[in-house]
């Protein structure tokens, strides 16, 4: 039997479950209603990207936005996990980008269509190195930030999340069984904007981790 290393969770091919509109300031900047229940969507494992390879803008989009987010890596699976024990299912964290083809998403929204083309394209989920949970004792109160070509664009704190990490794990696992190696993207704070080919995105979580990605085009 081969044993897998959770610190390379992106190689496991597990689910990427994303939470949208989890920061009121971001929901408002896009004129979206602040939700009373989590908004969920999925990315596929082919969306994963690690440092050294470029984010590729798909041919069908002229407006791909950065969304910096705290990712939660599941260490122990479960169904209908109670909030009280939810954090026992967390192996660690990763800083993530939910790259979003905003023009396509707007079109899908206006037609009542799903967001797959806007959210799940190859390279739409750049991730940092794995961060063991001990390195972030309070994931509900860390700064996440992103600059583009040296200019700060997003600078939020996970304390601004509408739905907490234990709530999200419990809520999601009622609907979708969580497995070891799954990743939950917890939503983005305000400041999203379009990236251009050759841009350099530099992002971090407090002084815990940082990552850099270049932008290219298919
Ligand atoms: C409007 C969105 O794209 C929602 C989303 O992904 C978020 O992080 O908020
Ligand atoms: Mg997002």
Tell me, in angstroms, the distance from the centre of ligand 2 to residue 99's CA: 8
Q: What is the pLDDT of residues 159-184, one digit of tens each?
A: 999 999 999 999 999 999 999 999 99
Pocket of ligand 1 (CB under 6 A): 18, 20-22, 26, 30, 32, 67, 98, 100, 187-188
Ligand 1 atom with minimal separation from the 118 CA:
3
Tell me, in angstroms, the distance from the centre of ligand 2 to residue 2's CA: 34
* Ion ligand 2, residues whose Cβ is below 5 A away: 67, 98, 188
Handedness of CA 7, 11, 13, 18 (dihedral sign): positive
Whole-complex ipTM: 0.98
Structure tokens belonging to residue 24: 């009121």
Distance, CA of 81 to CA of 152 (rounded, Å): 37
Q: What is the pLDDT of residues 38-91, one digit of tens each?
A: 999 999 999 999 999 999 999 999 999 999 999 999 999 999 999 999 999 999
Distance, CA of 111 to CA of 132 (rounded, Å): 41
Structure tokens belonging to residue 158: 């996970």
Tell me, in angstroms, the distance from the centre of ligand 2 to residue 16's CA: 12
Region 81-108: what's the mean pLDDT? 98
Residue 134, burial from CB neighbour count under 10 angstroms (0-12, 13-18, 19+): exposed
Angle at 160 between CA 92 and CA 165, to 5 degrees: 35
Neighbours of 204 (CB within 10 A): 19
Distance, CA of 67 to CA of 153 (rounded, Å): 10
Question: 95 pairs with which residues across the strands?
Answer: 70
């Amino acid at each position: 039997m081969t044993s897998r290393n959770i610190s390379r969770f992106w190689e496991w091919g597990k689910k990427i479950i994303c939470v949208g509109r989890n920061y009121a300031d971001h929901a408002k900047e896009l004129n979206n209603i602040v939700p009373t229940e989590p908004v969920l969507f999925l990315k596929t494992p082919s969306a994963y990207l690690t440092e050294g390879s470029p984010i590729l803008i798909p041919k069908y989009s002229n407006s791909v936005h950065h969304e910096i987010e705290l990712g939660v890596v599941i260490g122990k699976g479960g169904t209908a996990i109670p909030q009280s024990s939810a954090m026992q299912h967390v192996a660690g964290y990763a800083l993530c980008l939910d790259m979003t083809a905003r023009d396509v998403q707007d079109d899908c929204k206006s037609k009542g269509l799903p967001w797959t083309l806007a959210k799940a394209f190859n390279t739409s989920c750049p991730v940092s190195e794995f961060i063991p949970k001990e390195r972030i004792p309070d994931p509900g109160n860390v700064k996440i930030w992103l600059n583009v070509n040296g200019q700060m664009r997003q600078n939020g704190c996970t304390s601004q999340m509408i739905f907490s990490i234990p709530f999200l794990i419990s809520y999601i696992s009622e609907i979708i069984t969580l497995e070891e190696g799954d990743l939950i993207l917890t939503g983005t704070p305000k400041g999203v904007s379009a990236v251009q080919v050759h841009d350099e995105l530099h992002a971090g979580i407090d002084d815990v981790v940082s990552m850099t990605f270049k932008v290219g085009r298919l």
